[in-house]
Amino acid sequence: MKAVSKVEGRAYPFGLKNVDTDVIIPAPYLKTISRIGLGRGAFESVRAQPGNVFDDPEYAGAPIIIAGDNFGCGSSREHAAWALNDMGVEAVIAPSFSDIFSGNAFKNGIVTVVLPQEAIDRLMEVAKTDPINVDLENKVVTTPYQDRFEFEIDDFRRHCLINGLDEVGMTLAKADRITAHEQKLAQSQPWLVPTAV
């Protein structure tokens, strides 16, 4: 995973609430067996509408999306995070995220920043004309107008993002503990090994 400690640039002032992962990347694009190239299907139904922010040249290549409550709800498809990666998005700012999406985003180096609706409203305004800065080291979002919105983020996730850590590798280093757990289970819950596999 590539390390990320700050994201700076223009932001799509999207703003919608309950943006589901079918909207971020519709099912026909999930037939790929690769992680790359999904940007072409990102927000397809939104882009079908004239005047949408994603096709507005003002925001071309913006690394940030500003959205409403419950961003990334619905399907667990990590393709949503891969699609955002592919379109160059490195951070999403919203009042809340679905649990599965925020995990998927994190594992792909995308920072999910939770801020209250009032802050979102202000950032939606600023985004129309100016860049926004997400500082993961200091857990703060700033604008050229001295706006300063501090945010909370899980320390472990922040640590992994800033250092670009590979979770599988970290966990494999604990193989002894996993083995010990399995040995304990074999004694206490022997039925957990399926009988007919």
Partner 1 sequence: MTTKARTLYEKIWDAHVVDQRDDGTCLIYIDRHLIHEVTSPQAFEGLRIAGRKVRRPDLTLAVPDHNLPTTPRVDAAGKRVPIADLESAAQLAALEHDAPSFGIKYIDATAREQGIVHVVGPEQGFSLPGATIVCGDSHTACHGGIGALAFGIGTSEVEHVLATQTLLLKQSKTMEVRVEGKLGHGVSPKDVILAIIGKIGASGGTGYVIEYTGSVFRDMSIEGRLTVSNMSIEGGARAGLVAPDDKTFAYLKGRPMAPKGDQWDQAVAYWRSLATDPGATYDKVVVLDAADIAPSLTWGTSPEDVVPITGVVPDPMSFADPSKQVAAQKSLDYMGLTPGQRMQDIEVQHVFVGSCTNSRIEDLRAAAAVAKGRKIAPHIKQALIVPGSGLVKAQAEAEGLDKIFLDAGFEWREPGCSMCLAMNPDKVPSGERCASTSNRNFVGRQGPGARTHLVSPAMAAAAAVTGHLADVRELMA
| Nearest Cα to Cα of residue 33 among 90, 100, 78 | 78
| 114 touches partner 1 (CB under 8 A) | no
The identity of residue 95, as a single letter, is P
**Interface stretch with partner 1, choices 2-10, 51-59, 92-100, 139-147 (CB under 8 A):** 92-100
**Of 65, 89, 91, 96, the one binding partner 1 by CB under 8 A:** 96
Name the strands in the sheet holding 140-142, side by side, starting at the edge strand that comes first in the sequence: 6-9, 132-135, 140-142, 148-150
**Interface stretch with partner 1, choices 2-10, 27-35, 84-92, 129-137 (CB under 8 A):** 27-35
The identity of residue 159, as a single letter, is H
Q: What is the DSSP letter of 110?
A: P
Q: How far is the CB of 29 from partner 1 (least distance, A)?
A: 9
| 30 touches partner 1 (CB under 8 A) | yes
Please report which helix (H) or strand (E) contains residue 21, including its range: helix 21-24
Please report which helix (H) or strand (E) contains residue 71, including its range: none
Residues that bind partner 1 (CB under 8 A): 15-18, 20, 22-23, 26-28, 30-35, 44-45, 68-70, 73-78, 81, 96-100, 103-104, 107-108, 117, 154-156, 167-168, 171-172, 174-175, 177-178, 181-182, 185, 189-197
